[in-house]
Homo-oligomer: A and B are copies of this chain.
Amino acid sequence: MRWNGWGRDGDADPLAGRDDVWPWLAAQFNMPALLATPPRPLESIDLPAPRLPDAARAAFIAILGEDRVRQDAQERASHALGRSYHDLLRLQSGSFRPTDAVLYPRNEDDVLAVLRAATEREVAVVPFGGGTSVVGGVSASRGGFSAVVALDLGGMNHVTGIDMVAGTADVEAGITGPELAQQLSARGMILGHHPQSFEFSTLGGWIAHHGTGQDSGRYGRASDWLADVRVATPQGLLTGSAAPSSAMGPDVTRLMLGSDGVFGVITRARIRIRALPEREVHHGWLFRDFASGIAAIREAARDGIPHTMLRLSDAAETRFSRVYAALGKEPGFRERVAQFLLDIRRFDDNAAALIAGFAGSAREAARARRRFGAIARRLGAMSLGEGPGRRWRERRYALPYLRDPLMGQGVGVDTMETAASWSRLPALYAAARSALEQAMRNTAPCEGANGIVLCHVSHAYPDGASLYFTILFPRNLNAEIAQWRAIKQAGADAILAAGGTISHHHGVGEEHLAWVEQEKGSLSVTAMRAIKRVLDPKGILNPGKLIPKD
Chain A interface (Cβ within 8 Å of chain B)? 163, 165-168, 209-212, 221, 227, 233, 235-260, 272, 274-275, 298, 302, 304, 306, 418-424, 459, 461-466, 499-508, 512, 515-516, 519-524, 526-531, 533-535, 546
Find chain B residues with CB under 8 A from A165 CB.
Answer: 298, 421-423
Find chain B residues with CB under 8 A from A254 CB.
Answer: 250-251, 254
- Nearest-CB distance from A45 to chain B (Å)? 33
A380 to B140, alpha carbons, bound, how many Å? Answer: 61
A252 touches B249 (CB 8 A): no
Which of B252, B306, B501 is A241 in contact with, Cβ under 8 Å? B501
A250 touches B504 (CB 8 A): no
- Nearest-CB distance from A146 to chain B (Å)? 27
B247 touches A211 (CB 8 A): yes
A533 touches B535 (CB 8 A): no
A502 touches B463 (CB 8 A): no
Find chain B residues with CB under 8 A from A163 CB.
Answer: 421, 423
A250 touches B245 (CB 8 A): no
Copies in the complex: 2
B249 touches A516 (CB 8 A): yes
- Nearest-CB distance from A6 to chain B (Å)? 21
A423 touches B248 (CB 8 A): no
Tell which of A240, A242, A257, A302 has the most Cβ of chain B within 10 Å: A242
A530 to B528, alpha carbons, bound, how many Å? Answer: 9
Find chain B residues with CB under 8 A from A466 CB.
Answer: 245
Instruction: Report, nearest first, the 10 A-B pairs whose CB atoms are least far apart.
Output: A244-B464, A243-B501, A246-B501, A250-B255, A166-B421, A210-B247, A165-B423, A530-B530, A252-B524, A238-B523
Find chain B residues with CB under 8 A from A527 CB.
Answer: 238, 252, 255, 531, 534-535
Known: A166-B423, A247-B503, A421-B168. A520 touches B260 (CB 8 A): no
Find chain B residues with CB under 8 A from A531 CB.
Answer: 527, 530-531
A505 to B244, alpha carbons, bound, how many Å? Answer: 12
A464 to B270, alpha carbons, bound, how many Å? Answer: 13
Which of B212, B242, B257, B302 is A499 in contact with, Cβ under 8 Å? B242
